[in-house]
Amino acid sequence: MSTLLIKNAYVVTMDDHHRELPDGGLFVRDGLIEQVAPSGALPEAADETLDLRGHVLLPGLVNTHHHFYQTLTRAVPAAQDANLFNWLRTLYPIWARMTPEHVFASTQTALAELALSGCTTASDHLYLFPNGSRLDDEIDAAREVGVRLHASRGSMSLGESKGGLPPDSVVDSEDVILKDSQRLIERYHDPAAGATVRIVLAPCSPFSVTGDLMRQSAELARQHGVRLHTHLAETEDEEQFCMQKFGHRPVGYMQELGWMGPDVWFAHAVWVSEAEIRAFAGHGCGVAHCPTSNMRLASGIAPIKEYMLAGVNVGLGVDGSASNDGSNLLAEVRQAMLLSRIKDGITGYSLSTEPERRLMAARQALWLGTRGGAAVLGRADIGALEAGRCADFFAVNLDHLEYAGAAQDPVSAIVFCQPRRVDYTAVGGKLIVRNGSLMTADEIVIVQRHNRLARGLLEA
């Protein structure tokens, strides 16, 4: 039995009542929140006590879409100013040189960045496995950092010779993909509350896998109760590709393949119609909104407020670090709020007086990053600070230069102001970031190893 007491913080619970406690804290026992209360009502002692006076305390952020391995290819000159399809064509041959060591090292880099930005649960989508690399390499690396991981077993089976986008050298046979998917589910998937590792099946995109693989992956996932994930409706190019090759728009294609349901979430979902938004809501599909990536690749602006109004679960994702090019999830909360406002400015909603059409507020953006993400990943045990949930949280000290002058509304301050490293991050009550430093791995070692491997990939 171990206990942790946090007191004197500005607590943002993100519970169903949107409760905030200006002077409150948590009492944690064995990794679970036992009590959220004003500081004076909490127990007086614990194995460890943290006085977080001057800090805002929030539920840990949930990242719903990433490709950790892409931290090895950030800002590659030839891919800097390309749209999605050209960006991919430039990078596929570089990624094809990766080894298990690259997967391990890049996972630690991405998760260290995420932890330092308040993230406590991350979903990653690894969809190419060159030179003997496996999802196991990522899971091993994640265990060391200590962030909860939803490891998506991605796949590509539709190479150039069969009309797909990726070169044949980076695609696998469907038999190999399905066998490995089954192995990973049996070995790692933990459906229990408080799980640190879950497996997801995630054929990469309509333009890199066959419909057959999508169908069989869904069948396998549903036999084992694991979730399904893929990229969808990211760009206009993809819409044209689907119309020409399958005779459907991307969402219609998913409907045909049995890929609509509460166990499915899609990354991006930018190019959708009103009817398709209603279809997502009706089937309970989730959306991983990746605003920075959508801006970086000039993909478009996802209709996030429309999704929210329709009742679609929306979470945030930093997306791969070759299209962001960072893994700062708190910055992504800010981007989501700002990009939504640009869309409102373009469509004229910014002038609307209807309450539901008001500009996205800081607290709404934080909701997407916490409760929204937890719902998208199908987890009721994270995403809020309330008794019975996992003690996953982060804290930001407002007594820093970046927040000077913003004390009137400490919660909005951490979204409106330029984010800096968070001061504390805890997963299951264990502090993995303390005083702005990563506690579970050596940041300098991570950076040096990462740079050596990245140089090798690009110079090969």
Residue ranges that bind Zn ion, judged by CB under 5 A: 319
Q: How far is the CB of 45 from Zn ion (least distance, A)?
A: 46
Strand partners of residue 425: 394, 433
Question: Is the C-alpha dihedral spanning 396, 402, 404, 407 positive or negative?
Answer: negative
340, amino acid identity: S
Pure H helices in 273-408 = 274-283, 291-296, 304-310, 329-347, 362-367, 373-376
Nearer to Zn ion among residue 54 and residue 373 (C-beta): 373
**Alpha carbons 66 and 235: distance in angstroms, whole number:** 17
Nearer to Zn ion among residue 319 and residue 325 (C-beta): 319
Query: What CA dihedral angle connects 30, 9, 336 and 111, to 10 degrees?
Result: -40
Residue whose Cβ sits closest to Zn ion = 319
Here the tokens at position 280 are 């997502």
**Alpha carbons 265 and 76: distance in angstroms, whole number:** 29
User: In this structure, are residues 213 and 177 in contact, taking their beta carbons and an 8 Å threshold?
Assistant: yes
Q: How far is the CB of 174 from Zn ion (least distance, A)?
A: 21
**Alpha carbons 59 and 164: distance in angstroms, whole number:** 41
**DSSP helix/strand/coil, 64:** coil
Nearer to Zn ion among residue 121 and residue 323 (C-beta): 323
Question: CB neighbours (10 Å) of residue 362?
Answer: 18
Angle of helix 443-459 versus helix 100-115 axis, rounded to 10: 140
User: In this structure, are residues 114 and 147 in contact, taking their beta carbons and an 8 Å threshold?
Assistant: yes
Nearer to Zn ion among residue 270 and residue 414 (C-beta): 270
Nearer to Zn ion among residue 137 and residue 319 (C-beta): 319
Nearer to Zn ion among residue 202 and residue 432 (C-beta): 202
Strands 286-289 and 430-434: unpaired
Q: How far is the CB of 267 from Zn ion (least distance, A)?
A: 5
Nearer to Zn ion among residue 10 and residue 69 (C-beta): 69
Nearer to Zn ion among residue 174 and residue 319 (C-beta): 319
What is each CA distance from 310 to 92, 353, 357, 436, in whole angstroms?
37, 19, 13, 38
Nearer to Zn ion among residue 138 and residue 319 (C-beta): 319
**Alpha carbons 167 and 447: distance in angstroms, whole number:** 30
**Alpha carbons 161 and 178: distance in angstroms, whole number:** 21
Q: How far is the CB of 213 from Zn ion (least distance, A)?
A: 18
Q: How far is the CB of 7 from Zn ion (least distance, A)?
A: 40
Q: How far is the CB of 268 from Zn ion (least distance, A)?
A: 7
Q: How far is the CB of 299 from Zn ion (least distance, A)?
A: 11
Nearer to Zn ion among residue 64 and residue 397 (C-beta): 64
User: In this structure, are residues 29 and 3 in contact, taking their beta carbons and an 8 Å threshold?
Assistant: yes
Q: How far is the CB of 319 from Zn ion (least distance, A)?
A: 5
Q: How far is the CB of 429 from Zn ion (least distance, A)?
A: 31
Q: How far is the CB of 288 from Zn ion (least distance, A)?
A: 8
Nearer to Zn ion among residue 117 and residue 292 (C-beta): 292
**Alpha carbons 67 and 150: distance in angstroms, whole number:** 12
User: In this structure, are residues 435 and 139 in contact, taking their beta carbons and an 8 Å threshold?
Assistant: no
Q: How far is the CB of 133 from Zn ion (least distance, A)?
A: 18
Nearer to Zn ion among residue 121 and residue 230 (C-beta): 230
**Alpha carbons 151 and 235: distance in angstroms, whole number:** 25
Distance of CA 415 to the CA centre of its chain: 17
**DSSP helix/strand/coil, 400:** coil
Q: How far is the CB of 266 from Zn ion (least distance, A)?
A: 11
**Alpha carbons 279 and 245: distance in angstroms, whole number:** 22
